[in-house]
């Protein structure tokens, strides 16, 4: 499915309000801005991001000398596109490329790893997946099933094993076996910030020791349906673990797709992909222009 379909429910809720505000309101007065802020809050952007977005739009309207509500749609689309223009970290990669996958249980991390591994396989790459989330036996098994399905090598140890030792062994194997991309799954239970930081720091250290420069990217997976939780999880992981990119899952069927705007605005992180379903193919590269058009166009 396309991002337009994925965002259909968010759009439905958001667009109706916007349409009537943009068409029925004349001048851009206080009442207009208040109503607009309310619509943003209702679209689950959260209170602070909604205020910030309104301030940015006021500024843009002033600069571009827009004084009528009817001119606001174009401004809003341009602003949303700009919000998604976060710089991407470009790391020089000496293969294997190592990707650290982080995020809370249930957000769709396992499925997302499978989808990314599938993409890499389709590009002809040799892929390995390491189960450094050793806490849940079922999660390890599920990852193994996905690895088999996409044709990736799988590395795991018994449940309860030291996550850093799994990462170390997998890194060793990946170098020896000439793997192109290694995805390292990490613990997803909601821990304290200190525990999370310690575990992820240790994993980073062993990866980097074995393969200088690794991990090359840390991808945080967040679930669009959780709205404001996605925002607080981003804050936690950014502080505890360092995050280079975001993948927003379950954008299909939720009315909370506006959270993408809030998270990009607050955290200045690029959203690289979105999940639009449960199947391997349901991962789309994210692009602010398509998003703005699907939501507001
Ligand atoms: P994890 O606990 O974070 O590893 O989550 P899983 O990968 O096991 O996913 C949890 C549930 O969400 C599963 O039922 C997945 O099929 C589902 N899921 C994952 N990504 C998406 C998505 O983009 N869209 C939809 N609709 N479901 C998804």
Residue 280 has pLDDT above 90, yes or no: yes
249 close to ligand 1 (CB < 6 Angstrom): yes
Beta strand 283-285 pairing with 271-275? antiparallel
More confident residue, 189 or 42: 42
Whether 250 lines ligand 1, by a CB cut-off of 6 Å, is yes
| pLDDT digit string, tens, across residues 101-139 | 999 999 999 999 999 999 999 999 999 999 999 988 999
Residue nearest to atom 28 of ligand 1 (CA): 278
Atom of ligand 1 nearest to the CA of 107: 3
Whether 193 has a pLDDT exceeding 90, the answer reads no
Q: Are 283 and 251 in contact (CB under 8 A)?
A: no
- 115 pocket-lining for ligand 1 (C-beta < 6 Å): no
Pocket of ligand 1 contains residue 105 by CB under 6 Å: yes
Q: Which class for 65: exposed (0-12), middle (13-18), buried (19 or more C-beta within 10 A)? A: exposed
Report the C-alpha gap between 132 and 162 in whole angstroms: 8
Q: Is the pLDDT of residue 92 over 80?
A: no
Predicted ipTM beyond 0.90? yes
pLDDT tens digits for range 200-234: 999 999 999 999 999 999 999 999 999 899 999 99
Beta carbon of 1 within 6 Å of any ligand 1 atom: no
**pLDDT classification of 169: cutoffs 50, 70, 90:** very high
Q: Given a cut of 90, is residue 241 above it in pLDDT?
A: no
- The alpha carbon of 213 and the centre of ligand 1 are apart by a number of angstroms equal to 30
pTM, full prediction: 0.94
The predicted model gives 95-99 an average pLDDT of 97
Binning pLDDT at 50, 70 and 90, where does residue 282 land? very high
pLDDT-derived band at 188, boundaries 50, 70, 90? confident
- Split at pLDDT 50, 70, 90, the class of 255 is confident
Evaluate if residue 1 carries a pLDDT over 90.
no
pLDDT in tens, 20-74: 999 999 999 999 999 999 999 988 888 999 999 999 999 999 999 999 999 999 9
Chain Cα centroid distance, residue 33: 29
Task: Kindly give the distance from the C-alpha atom of residue 13 to the centroid of ligand 1, in angstroms, as a whole number.
Answer: 24
Half-sphere exposure of 134 (CA within 13 A, CB side): 17
Query: What is the number of alpha carbons within 13 Å of residue 138 lying toward its C-beta?
Result: 3
Three-state SS for the chain is CCHHHHCHHHHHHHHHHHHHHHHHCCECCHHHHHHHHHHHHHCCCCHHHHHHHHHHHHHHHHHCCCCEHHHHHHHHHHHHHHHCCCCCCCCCCCCCEEEEEECCCCCCHHHHHHHHHHHHHHCCCCEEEEECCCCCHHHHHHHHHHHHHHCCEEECCCCCCCHHHHHHHHHHHHHHCCCCEEEEECCCCCCCHHHHHHHHHHHHHHHHHHCCCCCCEEEEEEEHHHCHHHHHHHHHHHHHHCCCEEEEECCCCCCCCCHHHHHHHHHCCCEEEEECCCCCCCEEECCHHHHHHHHHC
pLDDT of residue 15: 83
Report the separation in Å between the CA atom of 278 and the middle of ligand 1, taken as the mean of its atom positions. Answer: 6
The pLDDT of residue 177: 98
Locate the ligand 1 atom nearest the alpha carbon of residue 111 and give its number: 7
Average pLDDT, rounded, for the chain:
93
pLDDT of 2 above 90 = no
Assess contact for 182 and 171: CB atoms under 8 A. yes
Whether the predicted pLDDT of 285 surpasses 90: yes
Q: Is 6 in the pocket of ligand 1 (CB under 6 A)?
A: no
């Amino acid at each position: 499915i396309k991002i337009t379909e994925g965002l259909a429910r968010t759009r439905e809720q958001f667009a109706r309000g916007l349409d009537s505000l943009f068409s029925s309101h004349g001048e851009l007065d206080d009442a207009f801005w208040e109503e607009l802020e309310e619509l943003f809050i209702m679209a689950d952007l959260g209170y602070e991001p909604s205020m910030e977005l309104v301030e940015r739009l006021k500024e843009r309207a002033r600069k571009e000398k827009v004084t009528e509500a009817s001119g606001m749609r174009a401004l809003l689309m341009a602003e949303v596109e700009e919000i998604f223009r976060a710089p991407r970290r470009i790391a020089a990669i000496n293969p294997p490329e190592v990707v650290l996958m982080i995020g809370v249980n249930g957000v769709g991390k396992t499925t997302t790893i499978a989808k990314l591994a599938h993409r890499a396989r389709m590009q002809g790459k040799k892929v390995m997946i390491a189960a450094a989330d050793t806490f849940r036996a079922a999660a390890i098994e599920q990852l193994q099933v996905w690895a088999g399905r996409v044709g990736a090598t799988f590395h795991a140890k018994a449940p309860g094993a030291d996550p850093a030792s799994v990462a170390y062994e997998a890194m060793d194997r990946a170098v020896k076996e000439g793997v192109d991309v290694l995805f390292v799954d990490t613990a997803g239970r909601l821990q304290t910030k200190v525990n999370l930081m310690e575990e992820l720091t240790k994993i980073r250290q062993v990866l980097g020791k074995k393969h200088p420069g690794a991990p090359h990217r840390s991808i945080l997976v967040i679930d669009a349906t959780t709205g404001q939780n996605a925002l607080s999880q981003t804050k936690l992981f950014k502080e505890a673990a360092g995050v280079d990119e975001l993948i927003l899952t379950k954008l299909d069927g939720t009315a909370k797709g506006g959270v993408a705007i809030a998270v990009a605005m607050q955290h200045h992180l690029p959203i690289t992909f979105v999940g639009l379903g449960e199947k391997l193919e349901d991962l789309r590269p994210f692009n602010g222009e398509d998003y703005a058009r699907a939501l507001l166009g």
